[in-house]
Amino acid sequence: MKKNGWKFLIGLLVVGGVFVALWQFGLFESFSEGQGFTAFTEDGKYDYTGKNVEATLNAYNIYTAAAINPKVYLYEEKPDNWGNGRVDVEDGYISSYQLASGTYVIAEEPGTYYARAVLNGYYDEFFEIVIPASGEVTLNDFNQADGNIEKIKMYDIETLSVSDVDLGITENASSDTTFIKYMNAVVDDDEAFKLDEVKFQEDATYSFATDTDGDGVYDEGVNKIKVVIDGQTFVPFDVASSIDEFSGDNEAVLNYDHLYEQNEAVNIKFEVTADATYSTTGDADEKLGDGEDILDSVILVDAAGNTATFDVSG
């Protein structure tokens, strides 16, 4: 063979070797897909840096598994009020996606994103989405295979049905008497109640936290109020211990973050102790009377800002 022929044959072998290398490592594939040559990470994985990597969002009712269509807001930085469904969607989100038929395919560059799913009648869901920076397959194959699926499980909001509490005072008494009563409310099927805080408001007329004549016996005869919510004790008023959470704005607030799932009961126990009782009402008589509103409003505030209100009376 002539010298030039050998050079031509060697050239073909070199070009063929490069082609085989490109094919073997997926570089030819990615190049042919119009993505340019794919870079590799130090551990030999395909590098997705700077590219749009897909993630599939699937949303459904946590109890019924029915597909639902929230709007999802995406943030690069965690918002100041992250996790608080009682505040409006905060500015600064980089993208928003409206799901249809319970799904949506997003495309973002690699990184960790903070997402908030919002749907009327459901509690907002807060979660993180991690878009991978590398993978075992080409980006095209990863996207086509729905390699990153985020399941958004949301709770349908229960409109809690509550009832007023009557301590049941029926007779006169001149010594310390403690009355114990309960308020129970059961969550319906396929719904949930996310309790966020409880507000206890003093009645404007029968102000139990006022000692008008300064003799140490308060106007409505109450010397202690104790509340137990599913095992957690809160004492907003106790004369002997100098506790008065109602001073200033006539309101005591208990922060109580708790999820009540379907068919679970919200159990609230009230223990009210009075120096003396009276079978009828009487303002500022230093006796707890029948029918007197001690707590004009007990307000259960849920994670969406909805309220359920009842009162506690003698």
Specify whether the CB–CB gap between 155 and 62 falls below 8 A. Answer: yes
Examine the domain organization and report whether 247 and 293 are in the same domain.
yes
2 in a structural domain: no
CA atoms within 13 A on the CB side of 43: 5
What's residue 223's pLDDT?
A: 86
| Tokens at 184, concatenated | 């129970």
Q: How far is CA 124 from the centre of its chain?
A: 6
Same domain, yes or no: 32 and 171: no
pLDDT given for residue 197 in this prediction: 95
Q: Which of 122, 154, 186 is the last residue of a domain?
A: 154
Q: Using an 8 Å Cβ cutoff, are 82 and 144 in contact?
A: no
Q: Is residue 1 part of a domain?
A: no
Q: What is the mean pLDDT of each run of 10 residues along the chain (314 residues)?
A: 46 44 43 51 81 95 98 95 92 95 95 97 96 90 83 96 89 77 96 96 76 69 90 92 87 94 96 73 66 88 96 85
**One-letter-per-residue 3-state SS of the chain:** CCHHHHHHHHHHHHHHHHHHHHHHCCHHHHHHCCCCCCCECCCCCEECCCCCEEEEEEEEECCCCCECCCEEEEECCCCCCCCCCCCCCCCCCCEEEECECCEEEEEECCEEEEEEEECCCECCEEEEEEECCEECCCHHHHHHCCCCEEEEEECEECCCCCCCEECCCCCCECCCEEEEEEEEEECCCCCEEEEEEEEEEECCCCCCCCCCCCCCCCCCCEEEEEEEECCEEEEEEEHHHCEECCCCCCEEEEEEEEEECCCCEEEEEEEEEECCEECCCCCCCCCEECCCEEEEEEEEEECCCCEEEEEEEC
Q: What is the pLDDT of residue 48?
A: 92
Q: What CATH number has the domain bearing residue 147?
A: 2.60.40.1120
Model-level pTM greater than 0.85? Answer: no
C-beta of residue 135 within 8 angstroms of C-beta of residue 51:
no
Residues 304 and 236 in one domain: yes
Question: Is the distance from CB of 57 to CB of 97 less than 8 angstroms?
Answer: yes
Total domains, the chain: 2
Q: Indicate the residue type of 14.
A: V
Residue 29 confidence (pLDDT): 41
* Domain match, 191 and 267 both: yes
pLDDT for res 15: 44
Q: Which pLDDT score, from 0 to 100, does residue 183 have?
A: 96
Domain containing 123 equals 25-154
Q: Same domain, yes or no, for 46 and 68?
A: yes
Residue whose pair of structure tokens reads 């301590």 in the numeric block: 167
Domain end residue (candidates: 120, 154, 188): 154
Predicted local confidence at residue 147, as pLDDT? 66
Same domain, 208 and 262: yes
Decide: 204 and 212 in contact? Cβ < 8 Å. no
Tokens 């114990």 belong to: 180
